[in-house]
Structure 1
Amino acid sequence: MTSNTAEQHGLSRSGLYRAARKGRFERIARGIYLPADAAAADWDWIEAASRRPAATICLTSALSHHDLIDAIPAALDIAIPRGSRIPTGNPSIAWHSFSQSTFYLGRDEIPIPGTDLTIGLYSPERSIADVFRLRGEVGYELARDALKEWLRRGGKPAHLVQFATTLPRAKTPILTALDALA
């Protein structure tokens, strides 16, 4: 619950703050509260979904969610449509701006456990294509390792190339990597 949505739950903004001071709600981020007895949940996911409804788990975080890499992301990678204001605050969320024309390609909504919220998550194919096109930012080794694991699990190269064709700067490095791995 946010301070702006407190009225939907029968609380005024000041009532929410009083309830938080009494321990009935726990502040997880600036302006975002959870009931003190709420089930365990990923606070970064809740904050990202509360701050931007289009928030989508991407890059290293998406690859980790799909178990395609062993690396533990230093921050939660979240994509938002280019032109959206990037929220300030939590340094454990890395905000990325993705083109509006391709933003929803390979995007699914998943529930955030312990809440009634959902957050976007890119498919394994989209995530691999994104790390190849942003390999200067995230590292070529990460992209290669994710591709190897995806292929080992039975991923179809034609499906990946289809995604790569729709995203800028992704097709050539993916084709080169697929050729090298073949």
Structure 2
Amino acid sequence: METLQPKDASRLGMSKSSLYRAAHAGEYDRIARGIYRPADAPAADWDWIEAATRRPDATICLTSALAYHDLTDTIPDALDIAIPRGARIPATGAAIAWHSFAKDTFDLGRDTIPIPGSELRIGIYSPERTIADAFRLRGDLGYELGRDALREWLRHGGKPAQLIAIATRLPRTKQPILQALDLLT
């Protein structure tokens, strides 16, 4: 089902005020400030929808991406979203932790996936990129997160050459990953 913003209401033949009235009448659910969905739309993750609507380049990263790829048992308390460094961090009502990643490596290992129950797509980093980021940001995330994700990734048949190829392009990443691979294999 379609996600609406007041600026898009005219496309459906309604004014902004008629969209607000329809939302007040229960025909549309208000996901966040300025974001609406039809009340009969299938269930969807509203945090993902808000992130993708506010920033088309929003990319699920770090603990949230590890959880999506089933590489950690850690349940993130907020949706981790990466945007290019220097981009404006939008105001959101959802539990979203915004992270600024370098512009020159932002697209490295990035893909898009559909948001279930929605017509929107959101970016997500590959398992290899996410593990590399966990090692790169180990001081903030904790040393165990990357190591445990790497262990699980190897158990699922991950190829170390693919991980090293990405780690080589990110700062402070290759050496710790090589050491962890040496210990785990």
Q: Deviation of residue 9 (structure 1)?
A: 2.2
> Match of 1:2?
5
- Once the two structures are superposed, what CA deviation does each residue of 1:132-161 show, in whole Å capped at 9, x if it has no partner? 001111111011100000011111111100
> Match of 1:139?
142
Q: Is the aligned partner of 1:72 residue 2:75?
A: yes
Given the alignment, which residue of 53, 56, 60 partners 1:57? 60
Structure 2 CA distance for aligned equivalents of residues 83 and 11 of structure 1: 36
TM-align CA RMSD: 1.0
- Once the two structures are superposed, what CA deviation does each residue of 1:68-120 show, in whole Å capped at 9, x if it has no partner? 01111111000111111001232511111111111111111111111110000
Contact 2:50–2:94, Cα closer than 8 Å, also in 1: no
Contact 2:50–2:92, Cα closer than 8 Å, also in 1: no
Q: Look up the SS of the partner of 1:5 in the other structure.
A: helix
> Match of 1:96?
99
Q: How many residues align?
A: 182
Structure 2 CA distance for aligned equivalents of residues 58 and 116 of structure 1: 21
Contact 2:47–2:94, Cα closer than 8 Å, also in 1: no
Contact 2:32–2:50, Cα closer than 8 Å, also in 1: yes
Which segments of 5 or more consecutive residues in structure 2 lack a partner in the other structure? none
Which segments of 5 or more consecutive residues in structure 1 lack a partner in the other structure? none
Structure 1 CA distance for aligned equivalents of residues 61 and 154 of structure 2: 19
TM-score (norm 2): 0.95
Q: Is the aligned partner of 1:25 residue 2:63?
A: no
Q: Matched residues, percent identical?
A: 69
Structure 1 CA distance for aligned equivalents of residues 153 and 91 of structure 2: 34
> Match of 2:159?
156
Given the alignment, which residue of 163, 170, 174 partners 2:173? 170
